[in-house]
Amino acid sequence: MAGRALKRLMTEYKQLTLNPPEGIIAGPTNEENFFEWEALIMGPEGTCFECGVFPAKLIFPPDYPLSPPKMQFTCEMFHPNIYSDGRVCISILHAPGDDPMGYESSAERWSPVQSVEKILLSVVSMLAEPNDESSANVDAAKMWRDDREQFNKIAERLVRNTLNIPYP
Protein backbone atom coordinates (compact mmCIF):
# COMPACT_ATOMS: atom_id res chain seq x y z
CA MET A 1 0.00 0.00 0.00
CA ALA A 2 2.79 2.45 0.91
CA GLY A 3 4.29 1.92 -2.56
CA ARG A 4 1.16 3.25 -4.22
CA ALA A 5 1.03 6.12 -1.77
CA LEU A 6 4.66 7.02 -2.49
CA LYS A 7 4.05 6.97 -6.24
CA ARG A 8 0.99 9.19 -5.84
CA LEU A 9 2.86 11.64 -3.59
CA MET A 10 5.77 11.83 -6.03
CA THR A 11 3.33 12.58 -8.86
CA GLU A 12 1.59 15.29 -6.81
CA TYR A 13 4.92 16.85 -5.85
CA LYS A 14 5.98 16.98 -9.49
CA GLN A 15 2.68 18.65 -10.40
CA LEU A 16 3.07 21.21 -7.61
CA THR A 17 6.58 22.11 -8.75
CA LEU A 18 5.61 22.38 -12.42
CA ASN A 19 2.44 24.38 -11.78
CA PRO A 20 2.50 25.83 -8.25
CA PRO A 21 -0.67 27.54 -7.03
CA GLU A 22 -0.18 31.23 -6.30
CA GLY A 23 0.94 31.89 -2.75
CA ILE A 24 1.73 28.26 -1.90
CA ILE A 25 5.00 26.34 -1.74
CA ALA A 26 4.94 22.71 -0.63
CA GLY A 27 7.01 19.59 -0.82
CA PRO A 28 8.63 16.77 1.11
CA THR A 29 10.72 17.74 4.13
CA ASN A 30 13.50 15.61 2.64
CA GLU A 31 13.78 13.25 -0.31
CA GLU A 32 14.10 10.18 1.92
CA ASN A 33 10.58 10.61 3.29
CA PHE A 34 7.78 11.65 0.96
CA PHE A 35 5.23 11.12 3.76
CA GLU A 36 6.19 14.33 5.61
CA TRP A 37 5.82 17.64 3.80
CA GLU A 38 6.40 21.26 4.65
CA ALA A 39 4.30 24.05 3.22
CA LEU A 40 4.44 27.83 3.20
CA ILE A 41 1.09 29.51 2.74
CA MET A 42 0.77 33.21 1.98
CA GLY A 43 -2.09 34.93 3.75
CA PRO A 44 -4.85 35.62 1.20
CA GLU A 45 -4.96 39.09 -0.31
CA GLY A 46 -7.63 41.37 1.11
CA THR A 47 -7.87 39.47 4.42
CA CYS A 48 -6.54 40.07 7.91
CA PHE A 49 -3.89 37.41 7.16
CA GLU A 50 -2.63 39.20 4.03
CA CYS A 51 1.18 39.27 3.62
CA GLY A 52 1.75 36.61 6.30
CA VAL A 53 3.84 33.58 5.40
CA PHE A 54 2.51 30.70 7.46
CA PRO A 55 4.54 27.47 7.73
CA ALA A 56 2.75 24.16 8.09
CA LYS A 57 3.44 20.46 7.91
CA LEU A 58 1.47 17.65 6.33
CA ILE A 59 1.81 14.04 7.45
CA PHE A 60 0.52 11.44 5.00
CA PRO A 61 -0.74 8.01 6.08
CA PRO A 62 0.69 4.85 4.46
CA ASP A 63 -2.66 4.26 2.71
CA TYR A 64 -2.79 7.73 1.09
CA PRO A 65 -4.90 8.65 -0.91
CA LEU A 66 -7.49 6.36 0.66
CA SER A 67 -7.07 8.32 3.91
CA PRO A 68 -6.38 12.05 4.23
CA PRO A 69 -3.18 13.56 5.57
CA LYS A 70 -3.01 15.49 8.83
CA MET A 71 -2.10 19.16 8.55
CA GLN A 72 -0.76 21.44 11.26
CA PHE A 73 0.54 24.99 11.22
CA THR A 74 3.96 25.19 12.86
CA CYS A 75 3.61 28.84 13.83
CA GLU A 76 1.21 30.48 16.22
CA MET A 77 -2.28 30.74 14.71
CA PHE A 78 -5.58 32.16 15.94
CA HIS A 79 -8.43 31.11 13.68
CA PRO A 80 -11.85 29.48 14.15
CA ASN A 81 -10.86 26.39 12.14
CA ILE A 82 -7.39 25.85 13.60
CA TYR A 83 -6.89 24.19 16.97
CA SER A 84 -4.64 26.00 19.46
CA ASP A 85 -1.85 23.50 18.68
CA GLY A 86 -2.01 24.40 14.97
CA ARG A 87 -3.98 21.41 13.68
CA VAL A 88 -6.23 22.33 10.76
CA CYS A 89 -9.89 21.34 10.99
CA ILE A 90 -11.63 21.48 7.62
CA SER A 91 -13.96 19.03 5.92
CA ILE A 92 -11.55 18.00 3.17
CA LEU A 93 -9.19 16.59 5.85
CA HIS A 94 -11.89 14.51 7.56
CA ALA A 95 -12.00 10.77 6.91
CA PRO A 96 -14.19 9.67 4.00
CA GLY A 97 -17.78 8.61 4.51
CA ASP A 98 -20.66 9.95 6.54
CA ASP A 99 -20.04 12.43 9.34
CA PRO A 100 -20.97 10.79 12.66
CA MET A 101 -22.11 14.22 13.91
CA GLY A 102 -24.30 14.76 10.83
CA TYR A 103 -22.74 18.15 10.10
CA GLU A 104 -20.88 17.45 6.85
CA SER A 105 -22.04 15.58 3.80
CA SER A 106 -19.80 12.78 2.58
CA ALA A 107 -19.14 14.87 -0.56
CA GLU A 108 -17.44 17.55 1.58
CA ARG A 109 -15.11 15.07 3.27
CA TRP A 110 -11.91 13.47 2.02
CA SER A 111 -11.99 11.26 -1.05
CA PRO A 112 -9.10 9.78 -3.06
CA VAL A 113 -9.80 12.20 -5.92
CA GLN A 114 -8.61 15.07 -3.70
CA SER A 115 -4.98 16.15 -3.83
CA VAL A 116 -2.38 18.06 -1.85
CA GLU A 117 -3.03 21.07 -4.07
CA LYS A 118 -6.77 20.97 -3.31
CA ILE A 119 -6.05 20.69 0.42
CA LEU A 120 -3.73 23.70 0.35
CA LEU A 121 -6.16 25.77 -1.72
CA SER A 122 -8.93 24.84 0.73
CA VAL A 123 -6.76 26.04 3.61
CA VAL A 124 -6.15 29.37 1.84
CA SER A 125 -9.91 29.67 1.35
CA MET A 126 -10.47 28.78 5.02
CA LEU A 127 -8.06 31.54 6.09
CA ALA A 128 -10.05 34.02 3.98
CA GLU A 129 -13.49 32.80 5.05
CA PRO A 130 -13.58 30.98 8.39
CA ASN A 131 -16.44 28.65 9.18
CA ASP A 132 -17.40 29.88 12.62
CA GLU A 133 -20.34 27.44 12.80
CA SER A 134 -17.98 24.46 13.11
CA SER A 135 -15.06 25.76 15.09
CA ALA A 136 -11.92 24.08 16.34
CA ASN A 137 -11.08 27.19 18.37
CA VAL A 138 -14.22 28.43 20.10
CA ASP A 139 -12.55 31.62 21.36
CA ALA A 140 -11.43 32.55 17.85
CA ALA A 141 -14.87 31.80 16.43
CA LYS A 142 -16.59 33.92 19.06
CA MET A 143 -14.18 36.80 18.49
CA TRP A 144 -14.56 36.47 14.69
CA ARG A 145 -18.33 36.86 15.13
CA ASP A 146 -18.51 39.39 17.96
CA ASP A 147 -15.34 41.49 17.89
CA ARG A 148 -13.85 41.49 14.41
CA GLU A 149 -11.62 44.47 15.23
CA GLN A 150 -9.89 42.55 18.03
CA PHE A 151 -9.64 39.43 15.84
CA ASN A 152 -7.96 41.51 13.11
CA LYS A 153 -5.47 42.92 15.64
CA ILE A 154 -4.47 39.41 16.67
CA ALA A 155 -4.18 38.39 13.02
CA GLU A 156 -1.98 41.41 12.33
CA ARG A 157 0.33 40.40 15.19
CA LEU A 158 0.52 36.85 13.79
CA VAL A 159 1.32 38.16 10.30
CA ARG A 160 4.07 40.36 11.70
CA ASN A 161 5.45 37.40 13.68
CA THR A 162 5.73 35.29 10.52
CA LEU A 163 7.74 38.11 8.94
CA ASN A 164 9.87 38.71 12.08
CA ILE A 165 8.59 42.27 12.33
CA PRO A 166 8.08 43.49 15.89
CA TYR A 167 4.49 44.27 16.82
CA PRO A 168 4.09 47.86 18.09
- Catalytic site residues? 89
Pairing of strands 33-42, 70-73: unpaired
Pick from 129, 142, 63: which is nearest to 90 by CA?
Answer: 129
Query: % helix / strand / coil in the chain, to the nearest 5?
Result: 35, 20, 45
87: which residues sit within 8 A by CB, 6+ positions away? 70, 71, 72, 136
Alpha-carbon distances, residue 77 vs 9, 31, 70, 160 (angstroms): 27, 28, 16, 12
63: Cβ contacts below 8 Å, ≥ 6 apart? 1, 2, 5
